């Protein structure tokens, strides 16, 4: 059995910065409301031609460069997104083209804000069994084109941003390194609390003018309901990973929670009893980038030295489904 070690991280953020003040020109909202409720100051919106797969490819190039590898060295692609270029095929296929690759498998996974952690667990299992040696794991989102940027959609629209992150995982025989444990959960009873209902095959017809008129083509979120579950599930799934491996919160060098909302992160930090500097946040800069938020965070932490050789890092997520997950990694 092998362990899966992260040997490269990368990120890509579109150039276009959209501040809370920019949003105030599109809808009735305020910088104060957004900052106080979410911690977000600005986010990025993809420009013309910037697709989920293209941004994923750019983040991947950075991750491959750090790993000292070429695209041809990758054995398998896992692509996590809720905003694929197309309903089908998944974004892993067009991303291959952007990277000049053909032939290797490309698996898209749909686990929303937990997509990257689900992807980490999936990659780890493929590596553990020896089926693949080197896997490119990507999280990327273009939310901006699917949001209702008018006052009607403001409760959801102010939260989300675009971006991409990627990691390269490779097999190691060192059992103390890499992904030590992963824990994946879902509870489908909460599907309708955070979802994009239409267009979808559960509706007949699949798409209609009525759906556009009634707003069901835009994401819906019951914010308070999501908040209540998130602040419970994040600490629970982090403790699960620690218990499994025999570590305590004191042993962890950095917790990287999915950047859902500053208030959620704050509550999680308090419930874990950790100092602020051990619980990563960058939501003020990028908003909630769903599957991309954890790999973007990893990339920033590695860049500025907050994560280094031997750091014990805990990834944790919560999101639509509901889904929640954790992964404990010895860097």
User: What is the sign, positive or negative, of the torsion defined by CA atoms of 201, 288, 325, 174?
Assistant: positive
Taking the complex as a whole, the smallest distance from the CB of residue 222 to ligand COA amounts, in Å, to 8
Strand boundaries in the chain, DSSP class E: 3-12, 17-19, 42-44, 76-80, 105-109, 134-141, 163-172, 178-186, 194-195, 220-221, 254-257, 312-319, 323-330
Residues 6+ apart with CB under 8 A from 67: 7, 8, 168, 170
Selecting among 3, 98, 111, 113, the annotated active-site residue is 113
106 vs 113 by CB, closer to ligand COA: 113
How many binding residues for ligand COA (CB under 6 A)? 20
Report, in Å, the least distance between residue 38 CB and ligand COA.
5
Q: Which residue from 223, 229, 253, 284 is in contact with ligand COA, where contact means CB under 6 A? A: 223
Nearest 5 degrees, angle CA 158-CA 159-CA 164? 120
First to last CA, the chain: 18
Residue 51, both tokens: 């697709």
Q: Which of 227, 232, 245, 281 binds ligand COA (CB under 6 A)?
A: 227
List 198, 261, 289, 299, residue binding ligand COA (CB under 6 A): 261
Transcribe 146-198 into DSSP letters. Answer: GS--SGGGHHHHTTB--EEEEEEEEEES-TTSEEEEEEEEE-GGGGGGEE--S
Residue 212 CB, shortest distance to ligand COA, in Å, is 21
Which x/- pattern over 39-78 shows residues binding ligand COA (rule: CB under 6 A)?
----------------------------------------
Check residue 113 for interaction with ligand COA (CB under 6 A): yes
- 75 to each of 71, 127, 130, 133, 288, how far by Cα in Å? 9, 10, 11, 7, 30
258 as an active site residue: the answer is yes
Residue 64 and residue 11 in contact, taking contact as beta carbons nearer than 8 Å? no
Edge-to-edge strand ranges of the sheet holding 178-186: 178-186, 323-330, 312-319, 254-257
Q: Which of 3, 198, 261, 288 is catalytic?
A: 288
- Write the interaction track for ligand COA spanning residues 124-163; mark x where CB under 6 A is met and - where it is not: ------------------------------xx--xx----
Which of 25, 224, 273, 304 lies at the binding interface for ligand COA (CB under 6 A)? 224
Interaction between residue 33 and ligand COA (CB under 6 A) = yes
Within residues 263-292, the interface with ligand COA by CB under 6 A covers 263-264, 288
- Other C-beta atoms closer than 10 Å to the C-beta of 276 total 11
Active site residue 113: yes
Rounded CA gap, 59 and 36, in Å?
Answer: 31
The dihedral through the CA atoms of 195, 196, 200, 205 has a sign that is positive
Select 11 or 154, whichever has its Cβ closest to ligand COA: 154
Answer for which of 16, 19, 24, 29 binds ligand COA (CB under 6 A) is 29
Contact criterion met (CB below 8 Å) for 154 and 25: no
- Residues 271, 231 contacting (CB under 8 angstroms): yes
From the CB of 256, what's the least distance to ligand COA, in Å? 15
Nearer to ligand COA, 142 or 260 (CB): 260
Residue 220 makes contact with ligand COA by CB under 6 A: no
Backbone dihedral region of 138: left (phi > 0), alpha (psi from -120 to 50 degrees) or beta? Answer: beta
Q: In angstroms, give the least distance from the CB of 262 to ligand COA.
A: 9
Residue 314 annotated in active site:
no
Binding-site member from 35, 37, 61, 239 for ligand COA (CB under 6 A): 37
Closest to ligand COA by CB, 228 or 276: 228
The residue ranges that bind ligand COA (CB under 6 A) are: 29, 33, 37-38, 113, 154-155, 158-159, 221, 223-224, 226-227, 260-261, 263-264, 288, 319
Which residues are tagged catalytic? 113, 258, 288
């Amino acid at each position: 059995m092998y362990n899966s070690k992260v040997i490269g991280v990368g990120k890509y953020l579109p150039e276009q910065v959209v501040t809370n003040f920019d949003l105030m020109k599109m809808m009735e909202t305020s910088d104060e409301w957004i900052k106080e409720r979410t911690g977000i100051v600005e986010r990025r919106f993809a420009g013309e031609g910037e697709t989920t797969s293209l941004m994923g490819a750019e983040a991947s190039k950075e991750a491959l460069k750090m790993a000292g590898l070429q695209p041809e060295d990758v054995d398998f692609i896992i692509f996590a997104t809720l905003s694929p270029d197309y309903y089908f095929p998944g974004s892993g296929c067009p991303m291959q083209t952007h990277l000049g690759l053909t032939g290797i498998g490309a698996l898209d996974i749909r686990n929303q804000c937990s997509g990257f952690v689900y992807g980490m667990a999936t990659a780890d299992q493929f590596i553990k069994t020896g089926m693949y040696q080197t896997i490119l794991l990507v999280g990327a989102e273009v939310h901006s084109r699917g949001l209702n940027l008018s006052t009607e959609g403001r409760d959801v629209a102010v939260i989300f941003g675009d971006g991409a992150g990627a990691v390269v995982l490779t097999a190691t025989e060192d059992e103390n390194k890499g992904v030590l444990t992963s824990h994946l959960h879902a509870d489908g009873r909460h599907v309708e609390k955070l979802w994009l209902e239409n267009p979808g095959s559960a509706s007949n017809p699949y798409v209609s003018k009525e759906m556009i008129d009634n707003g069901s083509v835009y994401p819906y979120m019951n914010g308070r309901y999501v908040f209540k579950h998130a602040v419970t599930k994040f600490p629970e799934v982090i403790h699960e990973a620690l218990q499994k491996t025999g570590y305590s919160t004191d042993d962890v060098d950095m917790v990287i929670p999915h950047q859902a909302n500053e208030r959620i992160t704050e509550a999680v930090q308090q419930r874990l009893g950790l100092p602020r500097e051990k619980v990563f946040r960058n939501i003020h800069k990028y908003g909630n980038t769903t599957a991309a938020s954890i790999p973007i965070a990893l990339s920033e932490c590695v860049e500025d030295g907050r994560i280094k050789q031997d750091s014990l890092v805990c990834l944790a997520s919560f999101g639509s489904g509901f889904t929640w997950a954790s992964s404990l990694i010895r860097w």
